[in-house]
Amino acid sequence: MMVAWMAGLLAVLAVSAGLTWGARAYALRRNLLDEPGERRSHGVATPRGGGIAIVLTLLLACVVAAVIWPKAGITLAVFALGLVLVAGIGWWDDHRPLPAVRRLLVHVVASALLAGLVWHATGNAWQALLALLFATSLINIWNFMDGINGIATTQAILAGIAFAMVLPPPYGLTGVVLGLTCLGFLPFNYPQARIFMGDVGSGALGYAIAALVCLVSVRTDIHWLLLLVPLSAFLVDAGFTLLSRILSGQRWMEPHTQHLYQRAVKGGASHTFVTGMYLVFGIFSAAVFNACTNLQPRWEAAVAVAWLIFATGLWLLLRKGMRN
């Protein structure tokens, strides 16, 4: 049985890598390229849309899981529908740019499906509403933060591992599968980018991670604030950059290069170095999270608040240094 499980997980990795190779060939054939520009962090034209490989692998995994665990079929189908909606609007946007409001409406609909699953599992309307807001936000946060080689994928792998470690079996497999789908894509994107994830992948990846967080919130007693810790690198950078743009009167929905990771690259740091630094911070975040999941709820919340304050202070310090 163990050999069969290992073979299945290796198949996830292989399928993701194979589909990424196919996505690159498709992008080159269709001339689907991201060109360098003032609001981008790369210097050469690069194929985009490789994230479709992650999406298709996750959907295939949902089909296999539904066969193995028929009782979970409806839940998996609802999740898959939401994933298809987010990935579909992203795929469209990769081929023919769409208004931000139209994309956001689709994100809200997909997040509402996820919120419905949470409501059905818990009967808690407030928790479902929180899931709706969180999923909608994370879809866009992962899109905002997918701007340099490997950063979005490596953070997703860390999140998958961190949450897999606290979920009871067989639910922990969800985090492992998510991590493996990203790992199959990673060699094509890091350290040198032969293809970018594109909106089809970044938004869908944010949705998948939000679903994983919702699963942990339903299947464990971990305080919801502590669930934010493994994602703190992206939450802090995206959240406070957005807030600063709003407060300064900028058109915050337009593309820009003001995130901390983008400022670092513009300042001369390599993609490899910056992604590596975010990876190190992510490892510490995951370690703090996993070390504190058996505390009493009030202490879990206290640790989470303290860590987020620390992350915010570090962000402010680094951002000030780069501005100066």
Residue 166's φ and ψ, nearest 5 degrees, are -105, -5
Q: Cα-flanking dihedrals φ and ψ of residue 310, to 5°?
A: -60, -45
Residue by residue, pLDDT tens for the chain (324 residues) are: 678 778 888 999 999 999 999 999 999 998 888 777 555 555 677 899 999 999 999 999 999 999 999 999 999 999 999 999 999 999 999 888 888 889 999 999 999 999 999 999 999 999 999 999 999 999 999 999 998 999 999 999 999 999 999 999 999 999 999 999 999 999 999 988 899 999 999 999 999 999 999 999 999 999 999 999 999 999 999 999 988 888 777 776 667 778 999 999 988 899 999 999 999 999 999 999 999 999 999 999 999 999 999 999 999 999 887 764
**Which burial class, exposed, middle or buried, applies to 166 when counting CB atoms under 10 A from its CB (0-12, 13-18, 19+)?**
buried
Contact 300/222 with Cβ under 8 angstroms? yes
Cβ–Cβ under 8 Å, residues 45 and 34: yes
Provide φ and ψ at 46, rounded to 5°. Answer: -135, 135
Binding site listing: 143, 199
Domain regions of the chain by residue span: 2-323
Name every residue whose Cβ is closer than 8 Å to that of residue 124 and which is 6 or more positions away in sequence. Answer: 118
Task: Check: CB of residue 158 under 8 Å from CB of residue 178.
Answer: no
What residues form the annotated binding site for Mg(2+)? 143, 199
